[in-house]
Amino acid sequence: MPLVPLIKKVKALPSNKITVLIVPENTSNVKELKFSRAFIAIVLSSILCSLVGIAFILKDYTTLRRTLPSRQALSREVTSQQAQIQVFAKKIHDLNEEMTALRDLEKKIRIIANVKEQAENDAFFGVGGTMPLDLDSMPSLGQEHNTLIRDMHADVDYLDEAFAVEKKAFEHLHAYLHDQRSLLASTPAIRPTTGWISSGFGYRLSPFTGQREFHKGLDIATSEGTHVIAPADGIVTFVGNKGGLGKVLVMDHEHGIVTRYGHLKKWLIRPGERVKRGDKIALVGNTGRSTGPHLHYEVQLNGIPVNPASYILN
């Protein structure tokens, strides 16, 4: 049977030492161990410190085990945010390219329409240049996160200013083109009726008096009842009789342009009505002082008669 050490007795001596006797079961070979009190204190203190340290380690380990899932979730969230930042940076880059393309389109339209560019537009884009963000050489998000965020804020501010300038430029261009379109639509550019010109614009001998007189328009000879059409967009301002011109219709085309139609047989529209180029407005007649069925056609610019033939393109 193996020997099981058994401490039978601890003998305290008057000195600063402690003696420990180890007596086997057969009471033979008694062993005596002597330790100083200071040594015992140091050993006990070391054991106590070790136990306290182990307790703290176990506590930290338990806390770490508890917080590990939340740290993993935070890591996943950071990775997701970094991916979103990269997507946002790519969108800013694409918007910058679209703004540049829009700027080029505006320049082309201005060249085609012969519209001078506004000075502030050219100055802004001359300084702004292209966006500083270059995705191909973009630094690692882990190293330059704050720098990238600052650059993105700067790029957004630049695009915001560029958009405001470009919006103003397009509004100016749209207004100009709208005015031009309105002017073209209001310019009498087609013949008001079929037939041939029996008397032109300018001085002529009167068929009634034989004296030299100034003829303010064109006389277009044609069959009675032939339709008179509007040579441009406008609004009817007068229908009625005017002395030698007989039945007359007057249209205002804006931009200082007015047309008059004399010797009519019948009006097809009333004052206040708006018409488009090509609309039927009256019938050719032989009213007033006339030698035969024809249309007297006048064009006035700012109240001054001008040659209608200069406006007829067909």
* Among 94, 74, 82, 78, CA closest to 135: 94
DSSP labels, 263-309: EEEEESS-TT-EE-TT-EEEEEB--SS-SSSEEEEEEEETTEEE-GG
Q: What's the pLDDT tens digit per position in 81-127? A: 777 777 777 777 778 888 787 788 777 777 766 677 665 555 455 43
Q: What is the pTM of this model?
A: 0.51
Average pLDDT over residues 37-52: 80
Q: pLDDT: is 139 or 115 the higher one? A: 115
Q: Which residue has the higher pLDDT, 200 or 73?
A: 200
pLDDT at 9 over 50: no
Mean pLDDT of the chain: 78
Beta bridge partners of 306: 299
Euclidean distance between CA atoms 256 and 15, whole angstroms: 132
Q: Is 157 exposed, middle or buried, given 0-12, 13-18 or 19+ CB atoms closer than 10 A?
A: exposed
**Per-residue pLDDT at 67:** 67
Residue 221 · residue 293 · CB < 8 Å: yes
Highest mean pLDDT of the ranges 23-32, 111-120, 207-216:
207-216
Residue 28's pLDDT is what? 64
For residue 138, pLDDT beyond 90: no
223-275 tens-digit pLDDT: 999 999 999 999 999 999 998 899 999 999 988 999 999 999 999 999 999 99
> If residue 65 lies in a helix (H) or strand (E), which one and from where to where?
helix 37-113
pLDDT band, residue 184 (cuts 50/70/90): confident
- In the predicted model, is pLDDT for residue 68 greater than 70? no
pLDDT for 139 equals 46
